[in-house]
């Protein structure tokens, strides 16, 4: 794996055109600007192979003793397992068996984790344990209070003031239409679960400098996780646009689209 990552690191940037405001910029120009902030968010569509290529490229260019990796794809309660893998105490098979990895973890995200492991850099398991988010999605904030282990949230606050983010989330749920029939939950409670994820992920990186890989909804338009961070934290956002997906110049500081 180390040889593979070293080879990828040595290659040219992945395919794509990088938009920054009204301009197009080179990958080197983007990396130089990203180096200047504490937190870099990379928003993806989870099944987009091009996004995963860009994530690895950006991560290997920004990784350092002072900048770690944070992943939505691991939940906070498996941080110990992830640490054990990074230190060499746990094999990859053991990590996969115990940490509830996403189905595409090995091909999509593990190269970034392995790069961190080989270079002695920490990785943050950032997401809320899924049973908490599920309780809120089904029963609102009351469901969280009734869930065992809810003391986990004693020092986590949730900012729900962003009206644009709320409206965009609810419109997205409505647009999914028939797909939601199998999930008979109140969209407002689902939005509360989304806010909970954002707040926990923001809390997980407090005081760190990192590259944060997440679903694009969690960082596009500087909403989601950024809403839940302390106002003094410097950050920039990158959004890798999925195939045939529409995009807007202001959805991220850097919008990467497919190009010839």
Cβ(254)–Cβ(41) under 8 Å?
no
Reported confidence tier of residue 8, pLDDT bands at 50, 70, 90: very low
Calpha distance 49→240 (Å, rounded): 10
Per-residue model confidence as pLDDT tens digits over 10-69: 457 999 999 998 899 999 999 999 999 999 999 999 999 999 999 999 999 999 999 999
For 240, the token pair is 């890798």
Per-residue model confidence as pLDDT tens digits over 153-209: 888 999 999 999 999 999 998 888 655 555 567 999 999 999 999 999 999 999 999
- The reported pLDDT for the residue numbered 178 is 53
Q: What is the number of other CB atoms lying within 10 angstroms of the CB of residue 234? A: 9
Domain boundaries, the chain: 2-6+17-243
Per-residue model confidence as pLDDT tens digits over 203-239: 999 999 999 999 999 999 999 999 999 999 999 999 9
- The reported pLDDT for the residue numbered 6 is 47
- The reported pLDDT for the residue numbered 152 is 84
> In angstroms, how far is CA 159 from the centroid of its own chain?
18
Q: What is the 3-state secondary structure (H, E, C) of the chain?
A: CHHHHHHHHHCCCCCCEEEECCEEECHHHHHHHHCCCCEEEEEECCCCHHHHHHHHHHHHHHCECCEEEEEEEEEHHHHHHHHHHHCCCCCHHHHHHHCCCCCCHHHHCHHHHHHHHHCCCCEEEEECCHHHHHHHHHHHHHHHHCCCCHHHHCCCCCCCCCHHHHHHHHHHHHHHHHHHHHCCCCHHHHHHHHHHHHHHHHHHCCCCCEEEEEEHHHCHHHCCHHHHCCCCCCEEEEEECCCCCCCCHHHCCEEEECCC
- Helices 187-204, 130-145: inter-axial angle, 10-degree rounding: 110
- The reported pLDDT for the residue numbered 183 is 56
Top-tier CATH class for 2-6+17-243: alpha beta
Cβ(221)–Cβ(174) under 8 Å?
no
- Mean pLDDT along residues 82-90: 97
For 111, the token pair is 């190269």
Q: What is the value of pTM for the model shown?
A: 0.92
């Amino acid at each position: 794996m180390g040889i593979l990552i070293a080879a990828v690191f040595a290659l040219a940037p992945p395919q794509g055109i990088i938009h920054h405001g009204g301009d197009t910029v080179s990958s080197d120009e983007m990396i130089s600007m990203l180096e200047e902030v504490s937190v870099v968010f990379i928003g993806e569509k989870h099944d987009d192979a091009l996004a995963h290529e860009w994530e690895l490229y950006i991560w290997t260019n920004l990784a350092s003793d002072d900048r770690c990796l944070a992943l939505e794809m691991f939940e906070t309660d498996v941080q110990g397992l992830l640490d054990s893998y990074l230190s060499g105490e746990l094999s990859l098979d053991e990590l996969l068996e115990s940490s509830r990895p996403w189905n595409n973890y090995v091909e999509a995200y593990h190269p970034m984790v392995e790069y961190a492991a080989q270079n002695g850099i920490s990785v943050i398991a950032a997401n809320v344990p899924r049973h908490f988010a599920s309780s809120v999605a089904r029963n609102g904030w009351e469901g969280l209070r009734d869930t065992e282990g809810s003391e986990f949230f004693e020092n986590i606050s949730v900012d729900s003031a962003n009206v644009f983010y709320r409206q965009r989330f609810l419109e997205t749920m409505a647009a999914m239409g028939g797909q939601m029939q199998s999930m008979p939950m109140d969209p407002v409670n689902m939005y509360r679960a989304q806010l909970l994820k954002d707040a926990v992920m923001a809390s997980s990186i407090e005081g760190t400098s990192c590259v944060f890989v997440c679903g694009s909804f969690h960082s596009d338009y500087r909403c989601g996780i950024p809403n839940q961070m302390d106002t003094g934290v410097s950050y920039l956002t990158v959004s890798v646009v999925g195939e045939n997906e529409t995009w807007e110049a202001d959805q991220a500081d850097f919008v990467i689209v497919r190009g010839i």
